[in-house]
Amino acid sequence: MTKFVINKTSFEMFDVFRAYGLAFLISGFENRVETDICDLGSLFLIKTEGEIPKEADSKLFEETGSSWPLVFKTFKKRKDLKVKHPIEEAEHVAISEYNKILDIHRKYDFFPIFGKKVREGKTFYQTMDVSAAKGYREEKRDTYHDGSQIEVDKYSWVIASLGAAWFGIWPQNLMRRDASFLMCMVPNPKKVLLMSHRDVQNALDKRLCVTSANASLIHYSVKLAQLTCRKSDEIEYDSVVFNVMQKTGQQPKPSGGGRYNLDLLYNLAKTPEGFKALEKIDKFLLPIDPRIKGIRQDIALAVTDFLMRPNLNNLRRFESLYIRGMTNKKNKFFPWDEPQLKEMLRYVEIA
């Protein structure tokens, strides 16, 4: 067994992408070795069984089936530009420096190097972590300026890019022109077998509710909990890390980010009644079309708030909206099965 280490920084999404990226760089597209990732608090431990491949898999840099174009969405191609496109650059670094990347991550003391000018550093894109967006980490006094771009060492950059391209979840229907925000999510690997993680992500429906960023996050988390609750020996996630960007006329601007804890959803999914309640939420309450307005949209927002903070106020808001929906035949809001609702009430927090 060989162990690799990803030390955590303050960039949560960047850390998760690095963990997935390094594991994928080793295992390759065809799962050449069995690789699993464990979150040990201050670091991610990547364990591989079997002989480590001698070189990087070039298929990892193909655009089909990946989100490579989205990761470098803000990169502008110009004829006179002398630098390579970041995808080509990532491929070049991963293939030529494959052994070096593995070697430095075998050591427990390697931390990514950040700064405005890092030796052979690469631009830290906001799609890898929204808190890396220009000017987020510097003071602006007297006069306004856009801020400067953060750079990161190329070894950390390449594995984070790989992770973002293959493991970042970009809801498909947020690519519509009428959706006002962009979002990227990734489940935090508490204990994950990479192969199973890829199967789950391929099976997961990426069309999510676009009523709000929180609704998209909850919709994805509900789907994830449904798919993985019975596979806890191979896959264990504890939270979903998310980044939100606001669409503008030009580049998307940073909007926010955070981490959603999956405990409530997993607790619900443990029992058959709770699982059915999640199915109901997934099926009826979260419209995937942003043109849907009225009570269905209100319900989606109310149930989102309830699943984010299951307190009495949010439950009462959801209840009164749902009853109003039920009383109007046009809405087709059907009553709940008693055991399912009872299971949901088990987790309501009363201050």
Partner 1 sequence: MSKLHELYANSAIEHFGMALRIAIGKREFGGCEDYASLVELDYVEKEEQFVIVLKKFLRRFDACARRWERAHPGRSSFKPSEKDLDEVVRLAQEYGVRVVCAAIMSHALVYSEKGEKE
CA distance 266 to 250: 39
- Tell me which of 236, 322, 330, 331 binds partner 1, using CB under 8 A: 322
b/e string for 64-90 if b means 16 or more Cβ within 10 A? eebbbeebbbbeeeeeeeeeeebbebb
Helix extents (H) in 110-176 = 154-167
Task: Specify the residue, 36 or 343, whose C-beta has the smaller distance to partner 1.
Answer: 343
Q: Quick count: other Cβ atoms within 10 Å of Cβ 229?
A: 20
Task: Specify the residue, 136 or 334, whose C-beta has the smaller distance to partner 1.
Answer: 334
If one asks whether residue 1 binds partner 1 (CB under 8 A), the answer comes out as no
Task: Specify the residue, 182 or 264, whose C-beta has the smaller distance to partner 1.
Answer: 264
Applying CB under 8 A, the site for partner 1 has a residue count of 23
As measured in angstroms, the least distance from the Cβ of 350 to partner 1 is 5
If one asks whether residue 175 binds partner 1 (CB under 8 A), the answer comes out as no
As measured in angstroms, the least distance from the Cβ of 338 to partner 1 is 4
Written as six digits, the tokens of 261 are: 């804890």
If one asks whether residue 81 binds partner 1 (CB under 8 A), the answer comes out as no
End-to-end CA distance of the chain: 49
CA distance 195 to 288: 29
As measured in angstroms, the least distance from the Cβ of 278 to partner 1 is 16
If one asks whether residue 203 binds partner 1 (CB under 8 A), the answer comes out as no
- Tell me which of 179, 204, 288, 326 binds partner 1, using CB under 8 A: 326
- DSSP assignment of 261-278 equals E-HHHHHHHHSHHHHHHH
Task: Specify the residue, 40 or 348, whose C-beta has the smaller distance to partner 1.
Answer: 348
CA distance 77 to 85: 8
As measured in angstroms, the least distance from the Cβ of 277 to partner 1 is 12
CA distance 51 to 105: 17
CA distance 290 to 312: 28
Written as six digits, the tokens of 337 are: 């099965």
If one asks whether residue 330 binds partner 1 (CB under 8 A), the answer comes out as no
CA distance 211 to 194: 31
If one asks whether residue 337 binds partner 1 (CB under 8 A), the answer comes out as yes
| Stretch of 18-26, 166-174, 256-264, 331-339 contacting partner 1, by CB under 8 A | 331-339
Residues 302-321, mask of contacts with partner 1 (x by CB under 8 A): ----------x--xx--xx-
Task: Specify the residue, 175 or 312, whose C-beta has the smaller distance to partner 1.
Answer: 312
If one asks whether residue 350 binds partner 1 (CB under 8 A), the answer comes out as yes
| Contact (Cβ atoms closer than 8 angstroms) between residue 27 and residue 33 | yes
Task: Specify the residue, 1 or 350, whose C-beta has the smaller distance to partner 1.
Answer: 350
Which element (helix H / strand E) includes 48?
strand 43-49
If one asks whether residue 145 binds partner 1 (CB under 8 A), the answer comes out as no
Task: Specify the residue, 216 or 314, whose C-beta has the smaller distance to partner 1.
Answer: 314
Task: Specify the residue, 259 or 317, whose C-beta has the smaller distance to partner 1.
Answer: 317
Coil vs helix vs strand at 57: coil
As measured in angstroms, the least distance from the Cβ of 288 to partner 1 is 19
As measured in angstroms, the least distance from the Cβ of 283 to partner 1 is 9
Partnered with residue 338 across adjacent β-strands are none
Written as six digits, the tokens of 154 are: 């190329």
Q: Which residues of this chain interact with partner 1, rule CB under 8 A?
A: 312, 315-316, 319-320, 322-323, 326-327, 329, 334-338, 341-342, 345-350
